A and B are shown apart, each in its own frame.
Chain A
Amino acid sequence: SAVISQKPSRDICQRGTSLTIQCQVDSQVTMMFWYRQQPGQSLTLIATANQGSEATYESGFVIDKFPISRPNLTFSTLTVSNMSPEDSSIYLCSVEGRTSAYNEQFFGPGTRLTVL
């Protein structure tokens, strides 16, 4: 499996500000994924972060609101911009693990964001 860390683990922010979340993996991976889990809800894919190219966003998510960087094969950041209380969620990154199942996904511990 992959060892994935995220920073910060949690934060409380004021509306109108931005927060950048970091995801670090212990090995090189081609693709990294960012998910959002709103309170009491399931996980929804925000975007795919590819090294050397722009991130690809899922329907309902836009780059201006969730800019993503992928400077190398072990690291990515997700920024939540101009936050509102509706952005209060757990944000998780995922990568494929080094298992016999080539596309098994593993998740970081998540960043719990509260927007006041």
Chain B
Amino acid sequence: GIQVEQSPPDLILQEGANSTLRCNFSDSVNNLQWFHQNPWGQLINLFYIPSGTKQNGRLSATTVATERYSLLYISSSQTTDSGVYFCAVERSGGTSYGKLTFGQGTILTVHP
């Protein structure tokens, strides 16, 4: 199956700092999503971004599909940004429709 690797596994920041999270994947994808999992376990959709660049407030994401990686940028981090960030992909191919393979996540801690 497709492999998804995220880096770094852990990240500790001071409030106001910027950060970049990376997601590498091993095969062509139809779908790539970034999620934030809050302390209660809820998965929050951040971006649907199989290719290109998107921005939403302090967050932005870029996926270079031909090179099989995606980046999530967090600017001016806040304590509420703390949690686990997951990258998940749907491999290209009819039998994989809707099925997401998740990376291991990046645990982000933002200190005040």
Q: Does B86 have its Cβ within 8 Å of any Cβ on chain A? A: yes
Q: Which A60-76 residues sit within 8 Å CB-CB of chain B?
A: none
Q: Does B19 have its Cβ within 8 Å of any Cβ on chain A? A: no
Q: Say which residue of A45, A99, A101, A107 sits within 8 Å of B99 (CB atoms).
A: A45
Q: Does A81 have its Cβ within 8 Å of any Cβ on chain B? A: no
Q: How far is the CB of A110 from chain B (nearest CB, A)?
A: 5
Q: Which A23-54 residues sit within 8 Å CB-CB of chain B?
A: 31, 33, 35, 37, 41-45, 48
Q: Are A94 and B41 in contact (CB under 8 A)?
A: no
Closest residue of chain A to B6, judged by CB? A42
Q: Are B104 and A104 in contact (CB under 8 A)?
A: no
Main secondary structure of the interface of A (DSSP, over half): strand
Main secondary structure of the interface of B (DSSP, over half): strand
Q: Are B41 and A42 in contact (CB under 8 A)?
A: no
Q: Which B74-91 residues sit within 8 Å CB-CB of chain A?
A: 86, 88, 90
Q: Are B102 and A43 in contact (CB under 8 A)?
A: yes
Give A107 to B97 CA distance when docked, in angstroms. Answer: 16
Give A105 to B48 CA distance when docked, in angstroms. Answer: 9
Q: Are A33 and B102 in contact (CB under 8 A)?
A: no
Q: Are B98 and A105 in contact (CB under 8 A)?
A: yes
Q: Say which residue of B45, B48, B100 sits within 8 Å of A45 (CB atoms).
A: B100
Give A43 to B35 CA distance when docked, in angstroms. Answer: 12
Q: Are A43 and B98 in contact (CB under 8 A)?
A: no
Footprint of B on A, CB under 8 Å? 1, 31, 33, 35, 37, 41-45, 48, 58, 90, 92, 94, 96, 99, 101, 103-107, 109-110, 112
- Given A41-B104, A42-B86, A109-B41: 6 more A-B contacts, CB < 8 Å: A1-B45, A33-B100, A90-B41, A103-B98, A107-B35, A107-B42
